[in-house]
């Protein structure tokens, strides 16, 4: 039979030439592809080696780990090695400032509560994440300020602290209930009581919350923390307080200002534009100075605003003005058709803004928002200028201690690491967030 089809037998695949794969291939392609490239590679390696070995020698190899004072360090290694005992002796102050040693547990507990409050936001199957996030931003400050500041409780004060404590308890009860039973805390209690209809279930849910509030109120009123005035606050603790409040305040305030700037009501628009432009065109240092020295002049006689509060207000206003412009940029990137589609389906302004526009805009803006947070975190070092002992000024105080006189570089090195770790984590988290939120929705 002459017309039987030919059989096609595929040839086995050859391996790629060895010079193009593996470590050697990669190095040949990227580091030594030409003579100038090779020279640059060697130069780069050399510079890297010189810098890193100098740092390692100073910070680790030649460093002194045990000494009574700086004199002993200098006698042992001179200036060729770091004198870490000075930093170690000051670590409590670098972290807590002049906060009384026997009260430091309150700061730690306060921050642990913050972390515990935020944990449900990352837990799977927790559905009330928006409510939890809001409760955190709105209610945690009351709880935290009592832990950090303490002092006499008035009735209103106790009520607010109990509100914070209730919100915290609710967060965990509702998270556990949702993870275990797929129901929030209120509905779960209603189920246990066998509520007949929605209306009764809702009433039982609120009743349970009220009971929780009464309980926390009783507990909170038993607490008796001695007052620690803010002039004893300092170090990393103070830095975190200022930047934390600045961050938590500036995002919502920025959104409000940005919306105001686009408002059709002239009065609101003019106010927002003036505010934003004013605060954006003045350096933060100037604003801090203004608030510190001039604010008392405008206030009535006898009204004293705490120095820390003045700094926090200044930082918040400054950060919100910047945030407002970032948010406005994000809002502008959303096509008009999105508003129109929402309006055509009968959504009002607030619904379409909060559910359609902002979620999209905030997603685009994550990198700039986190960039702004990082900037804010580092800018808090400026408060040292108006006499607050943040991390930076605390590190300078080490070298003024008579035992460690002149020890400046080591504490700087140490706080540089602290700043780096915080900023690096923020930036990594933002990259991660961006990747996760963008899944399936890239244009």
Partner 1 sequence: MSAAIELVGVSKWYGGFQALKGLDLTVAEGERVVVCGPSGSGKSTMIRCINQLERHQKGDIRIHGQALTGEPKRDAPILRETGMVFQSFNLFPHMTVLENCTFALSWVKQMPLAEAEAIAMSHLERVRIPEQAKKYPLQLSGGQQQRVAIARALCMAPRIMLFDEPTSALDPEMIKEVLEVMVELAGTGMTMVVVTHEMGFARTVADRVVFMDQGEIVEQAAPEVFFSAPRYDRTRLFLSQIL
Instruction: Please give the residue ranges that form the binding site for partner 1 (CB under 8 A).
Output: 335, 337-338, 340-348, 351, 355-356, 359-360, 363, 440-443
Name the residue among 75, 72, 93 with its Cα closest to residue 398.
93
**Least distance to partner 1 from the beta carbon of 2, Å?**
45
Nearer to partner 1, 59 or 347 (CB): 347
Nearer to partner 1, 11 or 442 (CB): 442
Shortest distance, CB of residue 400 to partner 1, whole angstroms? 54
Which residue, 61 or 437, has its beta carbon nearer to partner 1? 437
- Work out how close the CB of 195 gets to partner 1 at its nearest, in angstroms, rounded to a whole number: 17
For partner 1, give the closer residue by CB, 363 or 403. 363
Shortest Cβ 441–partner 1 spacing (Å): 5
**CB 439 to partner 1: min, Å:** 9
Q: Which is nearer to partner 1, 311 or 361 (CB)?
A: 361
The CB-of-398 to partner 1 minimum distance in angstroms stands at 49
Q: Which is nearer to partner 1, 401 or 434 (CB)?
A: 434
Q: How far is the CB of 363 from partner 1 (least distance, A)?
A: 7
What HEC string does the chain produce?
CCCCCCCCCCCCCCCCCHHHCHHHHHHHHHCCCCHHHHHHHHHHHHHHHHHHHHHHHHHHHCCECCCCCHHHHHHHHCCCCCEHHHHHHHHHHHHHCCCCHHHHHHHHHHHHHHHHHHHHHHCCCCCCHHHHHHHHHHHHHHHHHHHHHCCCCCHHHHHHHHHHHHHHHHHHHHHHHHHHHCCCHHHHHHHHCCCCCHHHHHHHHHHHHHHHHHHHHHHHHHCCCCCCCHHHCCHHHHHHHHHHHHHHHHHHHHHHHHHHHCCCCHHHHHHHHHHHHHHHCCCHHHHHHHHHHHHHHHCCCCCCCCHHHHHHHHHHHHHHHHHHHHHHHHHHCCCHHHHHHHHHCCCCHHHHHHHHHHHHHHHHHHHHHHHHHHHHHHHHHHHHHHCCCEHHHHHHHHCCCHHHCCCCHHHHHHHHHHHHHHHHHHHHHHHHHHHHHCCCCCC
Min dist. Cβ of residue 357 to partner 1 (A) = 10
Nearer to partner 1, 304 or 439 (CB): 439
Nearer to partner 1, 11 or 436 (CB): 436
> Which of 186, 411 has the CB closer to partner 1?
186
Q: Give the shortest CB-113-to-partner 1 separation in angstroms.
A: 32
């Amino acid at each position: 039979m002459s017309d039987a089809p030919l059989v096609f037998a595929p040839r086995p695949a050859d391996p790629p030439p060895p010079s193009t794969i593996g470590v050697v291939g990669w190095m040949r392609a990227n580091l030594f592809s030409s003579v100038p490239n090779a020279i640059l590679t060697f130069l780069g390696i050399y510079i890297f080696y010189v810098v890193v070995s100098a740092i390692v020698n100073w910070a680790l190899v030649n460093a002194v780990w045990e000494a009574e004072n700086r004199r002993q360090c200098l006698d042992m290694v001179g200036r060729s090695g770091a004198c870490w005992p000075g930093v170690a002796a000051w670590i409590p102050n670098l972290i807590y400032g002049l906060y009384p040693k026997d009260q430091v547990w309150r700061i730690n507990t306060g921050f642990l509560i913050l972390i515990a409050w935020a944990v449900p936001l990352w837990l799977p199957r927790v559905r009330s994440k928006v409510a939890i996030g809001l409760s955190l931003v709105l209610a945690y400050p009351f709880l935290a300020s009592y832990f950090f500041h303490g002092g006499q409780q008035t009735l209103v004060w106790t009520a607010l602290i109990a509100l914070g404590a209730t919100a915290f308890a609710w967060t965990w009860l509702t998270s556990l209930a949702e993870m275990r039973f797929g129901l929030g805390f209120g509905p779960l209690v209603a189920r246990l009581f066998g509520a007949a209809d929605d209306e009764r279930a809702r009433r039982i849910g609120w009743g349970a919350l009220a009971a929780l509030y009464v309980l926390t109120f009783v507990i909170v009123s038993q607490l008796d923390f001695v007052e620690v005035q803010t002039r004893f606050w300092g170090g990393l603790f103070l830095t975190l307080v200022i930047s934390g409040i600045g961050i938590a305040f500036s995002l919502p305030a920025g959104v409000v200002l940005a919306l105001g700037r686009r408002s059709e009501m002239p009065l609101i628009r003019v106010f927002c534009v003036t505010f934003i432009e004013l605060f954006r065109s003045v350096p933060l240092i100037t604003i801090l100075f203004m608030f510190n020295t001039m604010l008392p002049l405008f206030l009535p006689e006898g009204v004293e605003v705490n120095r820390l509060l003045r700094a926090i207000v200044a930082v918040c206003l400054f950060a919100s003005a910047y945030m407002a412009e970032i948010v406005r940029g994000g809002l502008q990137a959303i096509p008009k058709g999105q508003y129109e589609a929402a309006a055509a389906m009968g959504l009002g302004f607030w619904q379409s803004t909060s559910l359609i526009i902002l979620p999209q805009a905030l997603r685009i803006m994550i990198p700039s928002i986190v960039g702004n947070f990082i900037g804010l975190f580092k800018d808090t070092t400026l408060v040292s200028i108006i006499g607050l002992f943040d991390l930076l000024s605390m590190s300078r105080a080490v070298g003024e201690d008579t035992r460690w006189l002149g020890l400046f570089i080591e504490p700087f090195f140490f706080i540089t690491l602290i700043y780096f770790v915080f900023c690096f984590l923020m930036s990594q988290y933002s990259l991660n967030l961006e990747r996760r939120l963008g899944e399936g929705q890239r244009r």
